[in-house]
Structure 1
């Protein structure tokens, strides 16, 4: 009997026993773990507990064969071959890394053995290529969105990512984080890939220390993360204004760290996978795990299970449920696994396309003291909450979770960046090809020996920038550097990190936003048309009739003839000179009508009626002649100018040539928006070419940005004018890197400069030297208008009424005398 029992045990080990004689025996399950890591140790214990629970609850036995890969992909592959060929396993759990899984999955798929991967992430193409590969641990991509929500909440704009150089799964995770950050106006400014050997990190960490950005996201394994924070503390990088956010797997293993390691991590915020710890099932598992783990691994100080233990338990339980029933084929086992639908220790266990459902809830923790505090939760599509479940109150703000303790013991939200220092000042690019030197001018100077060269920088842009820095609440060391290239190229240099900022007459344009961000414009924005002016009174011979409108001239003539007729009619019986032939009387009437404008002739009038008419008429004539004299004098002494072109349509209809600054976006705007033919657009290389081209009629109009147009007209105020509408384009601003931490502070300081009136004063000072003493345009326009009858209607009504009244009285008397 002893011999038979011994033989049976040997056959079971070799995987060739007749398992049908054991009604409770379901099969053999293999597992590959890295027992040198904390995760591997937890997974090993959790799988054993799962097998024991299966037997205790269902009276079904599952043999578990565990192999140690030691984190080596080759060892993992050899372990898989041994499990399949020697142990005759029907499924394999693990390993933990994708490098190991990739080799094991290839072996398993060839032998039709389901592989339950416990790696953090598995590429989508892997499950398509390896039909028996199942991703049993949920991907952590949503974890990156939780980090993005925190970045948005605290208004950080630049993030430095620290990850392991050989972590091939990090690519998908960091790509997801980058895309999520862009959606909230932030970006990853630096990618720091740390080698596996901590001894070679000096250069990387020194680069982090001198960088202005202090907002770090750490995506490292447990050993490397511990090394990083110990070194960071020694380098004084765990102090005020620094932000450190950790992810899984490290975040879920913080509880396993000793007090010495925890002390170097004070103020760190972590995003870790959520475990429903309050459920009875987990409490039962925790008690078993605590007891077994402390016995098997006494060297570990903490015996609490993490998410990795829970996921390993769920994976073993999933396979166990799939293997229930006699003589289950491997294809059927895979099919049963993919049809799983139950609540495990780590959450919902359900598969789609050979991948378990992703995690949607994460826990936010804050390292403090000898451990950490649980701040609250973040749930996809819901936001932050202090609790989880039906009573949870979700918000987009983290304020619902209480106060966070940051590095350095600060309670207020850290800036996440540090201003440049004198040792590492801001590098600011200044263009040397500016069209108008009034905005920015770069001059090269020699020393007193005539050898060494230096540059001087002046102009409105320089003055505004310096005034803005005076309003900042901190010192901002900087150095100017000349840039001899186009404005587009200058902005691109910021994206390439050759400059930290750029100032000058840089137009704010949509296509430049892919390389940089801008302050608000420090000038008026718009595109305007400048044309030559011409005299409104080109016909000099007819200038004498310009003081009055045609209608007023007709009214004066008609009133004079009418008044002359009235006086002639009244005085003809008293004065023989007013009688005679008809032609003589008509001539006398006309002479009497207009001679009164220049003399009273009152000694010749006999009737009081004609005298009254004459006095009122003469008063009106006096006012009109004085007005005419004044108006004619203004026309002869003041220039009467008007634009040669009224609007863009006139230019287009005449097929005229127009000009603009060379290598600028205005040429494209004229062609695509205002629909000028490209052959009718002339690009000028310098501002000194504008005026001669307009005077020689080489171009009929010039299109400039409004700020530059002001300078041009200040220098050439008598020959040219601005006309037509102002087209909406961006003004001039300062360029900073996308997501720059400095930009909000500089923007606020620039607004202070504008609100105090300093900006307007600087602009007036710039234009003062070019300003010419032209007449006020409004006054000029008023004087150029011809006088109309509306100015004198009362006088005409008075004199006409007086004449008519005298005529009526005369006729009445003549009629009664008969």
Structure 2
């Protein structure tokens, strides 16, 4: 009887040792304070928060490290001033080495300026072309720039032989930023931009109806829509009400909205039947499948009221960019003190009194040119810009969006993803796409 009891006690001691070892693995690591500014009341903010937290846990669970990221989450509440205030507070009171976020272009614009003054990198998923990683060496874009989709959208328009399109865009930094490059690509494809229609993010229902009635008077029935989900949901439900999601119409949506379709309500999906969209292609892998299952459990434990939310590319980029930052911090180490104080003088602002980060330039330079294999695939940042690869072309049918093809810079449109095929040529043929279900179940426009 003593032998089983002894074995049981030994097993308990061994398990306790393992737990203590796991908890103490990084006990001597130097803490690297990092600010994370997100719109925490939004679906995307909640998705990214879970991904940032899991990236940190996963990175430090594998082996011993000399440093460890300590995230400090702040809610920017979809407001630019709140995002800027959060950044100043994080720099002043916590002296963070880097800032992850914020999500929106108008928020990032403010925070990047602040990061520039104190020489702290700002790693933001803002897609707006108005924000340039070339103009600020402290801005690292952790998403594909909105301009990367322009050729893909133009290729779709050319494939179906449409000679005129109308662009309907959100009147914001995000929406306005894509217009010049999209117009240029349409011109290159011999497609006329028949109309540019700006829609205010705060537009009322009757105002949306008025704009749609004006769009009805155009000769073209092909529309390219550049909007974020909040406005797009109201816009497409009103578009259906106006009878414009029907036979004879074609709608193409930009990649941010397409990537977030899993998060919009069923009424909006119903109103978008037959819409085409482009979004970054993410290749499935065993690691990604395993992470997705873990993420779902984590997300729904933290947000039990949100039952129709799926992991998207922005969540994966949040995970990969957090991993990249943790790796970069491990390579350069934690400098103490974190900030170099300025010479004492009167009337210093809060930021001027803080000084500049001692982690510059090594940390910034490393993150601005970083390559790894991440959950999102090849995670390659060059000159502060996450490099795009293949776009997936999808068709909204039924309860979701289904793939009808791909677009790449090298091969154009294809039904199957082309990779290093010396015999393949650039294509803008509609026959190289799968079958498309158009609005009203029409065959073609």
Please classify the TM superposition score into its range, dividing by the shorter chain length: 0.7 to 0.9
Say which is worse superposed, 347-356 or 335-344, in terms of deviation.
Answer: 347-356
Q: Which residue of 2 aligns with 1:226?
A: 233
Shift of 1:142: 2.7
Deviation at 1:202, TM superposition (A): 3.0
Q: Is the contact between residue 105 and residue 128 of structure 2 (CA under 8 Å) also seen in structure 1?
A: yes
Asked if residue 374 in structure 1 is aligned to residue 403 in structure 2, the reply is yes
Answer whether contact 2:170 2:176 (CA < 8 A) is retained. Answer: no
Aligned pairs for 1:345-424 (under 5 A) are 345-357=375-387, 359-388=388-417, 390=419, 395-411=427-443, 413-414=444-445
Where does the alignment leave 5 or more consecutive residues of structure 1 unmatched? 1-20, 415-818
Deviations 1:295-350 (A, max 9, x none): 22233332321111011111111110110054344212112212322122233333
Report the CA distance between 1:35 and its aligned residue. 1.8
Rate the CA distance shift 1:175–1:220 in 2: closer, same or farther, 3 A. same
Deviations 1:187-207 (A, max 9, x none): 211111111223132321210
Cα separation, partners in 2 of 1:337 and 1:291, compared to 1, 3 Å: same
1:78 maps onto 2:108 in alignment = no
Picking from 276, 285, 295, the partner of 1:289 is: 295
Pair 1:131–1:373, CA change in 2 (3 A):
closer
1:121 is matched with 128
Per the alignment, residue 191 of structure 1 pairs with: 196
Q: The residue matched to 1:57 in structure 2 has which SS?
A: coil
- Helix, strand or coil: the match of 1:86? helix
Instruction: Please state how far the C-alpha of 1:122 moved relative to its aligned partner.
Output: 4.7
Question: CA offsets per residue over residues 524-562 of structure 1, 9 Å max, x none?
Answer: xxxxxxxxxxxxxxxxxxxxxxxxxxxxxxxxxxxxxxx
- Are residues 1:343 and 2:373 paired? yes
Correspondence for 1:260: 267
Deviation at 1:186, TM superposition (A): 0.6
Contact residue 218 and residue 245 of structure 1 kept, 8 A: yes
State how 1:22-421 maps to structure 2 within 5 Å. Answer: 22-60=27-65, 61-123=68-130, 127-128=134-135, 130-165=136-171, 167-199=172-204, 200-276=207-283, 278-325=284-331, 326-328=333-335, 329-331=358-360, 332-357=362-387, 359-388=388-417, 390=419, 395-411=427-443, 413-414=444-445
* CA shift for structure 1 position 59: 4.0
Q: Secondary structure at the match of 1:323?
A: helix
Partners of 1:95 and 1:237 in 2: how far apart?
Answer: 35
Paired with 2:368 and 2:120, the residues of 1 have a C-alpha distance of 14
Q: Secondary structure at the match of 2:288?
A: helix
Measured after TM superposition, the shift of residue 125 of structure 1 is 5.4
Look at both structures and tell me which one has the larger radius of gyration over its CA atoms. 1
Change over 3 Å in CA distance of 1:259–1:231 after alignment to 2: same
Name the SS for the 2:309 alignment partner. coil
CA distance in 2, matches of 1:131, 1:183: 31
Verify the 8 A CA contact 2:279 2:391 in the aligned structure 1: yes
Contact 1:127 1:134 in 2 (8 A): no
The offset of 1:391, in angstroms, is 8.8
1:298-697 correspondence to structure 2 within 5 Å: 298-325=304-331, 326-328=333-335, 329-331=358-360, 332-357=362-387, 359-388=388-417, 390=419, 395-411=427-443, 413-414=444-445
In structure 2, relative to structure 1, the CA distance for the partners of 1:405 and 1:125 (3 Å cut) is: closer
SS in 2 for 1:244: strand
Q: Distance in 2 between matches of 1:119 and 1:78?
A: 18
Give the CA deviation at 1:376: 1.8
Q: Do the aligned partners of 2:128 and 2:174 also contact (CA within 8 Å) in 1?
A: yes
User: Given the superposition, is the C-alpha separation of residues 204 and 146 from structure 1 closer, same or farther in structure 2, using an over 3 Å criterion?
Assistant: same
TM-score (normalised: structure 2):
0.82
SS at match of 2:143: coil
The answer for unaligned runs of 5 or more in structure 2 is: 1-25, 336-357
CA–CA distance in structure 2, aligned partners of residues 217 and 314 of structure 1? 30
* SS state at 1:384 partner: strand
- Report how far residue 256 of structure 1 moved: 2.2
Structure 1 stretch 199-208 or stretch 366-375: which is displaced more? 199-208
Cα distance change of structure 1 residues 207 and 54 upon mapping to structure 2, 3 Å threshold = same
Structure 2 CA distance for partners of 1:347 and 1:116, relative to 1, 3 Å: same
The 1-side partners of 2:134 and 2:36 are apart by 19
Contact 2:391 2:406 in 1 (8 A): yes
Comparing 313-322 with 22-31, which one deviates more in the overlay?
22-31
RMSD over aligned Cα, in angstroms?
2.0
Deviations 1:766-785 (A, max 9, x none): xxxxxxxxxxxxxxxxxxxx
What CA deviation, in whole Å up to 9, does each residue of 1:591-626 have, x standing for no partner?
A: xxxxxxxxxxxxxxxxxxxxxxxxxxxxxxxxxxxx
Contact 1:142 1:380 in 2 (8 A): no
1:576 aligned partner: none
Partner of 2:330: helix, strand, or coil?
coil
Higher RCO (CA 8 Å, separation ≥ 6 residues): 2
SS state at 2:70 partner: strand
Matches within 5 A, 1:722-733: none
Shift of 1:176: 1.0
Q: Any conservation in 2 of the 1:29–1:64 contact (CA below 8 Å)?
A: yes
**Partner residue, 1:621:** none
Change (3 A) 1:85 1:140: same
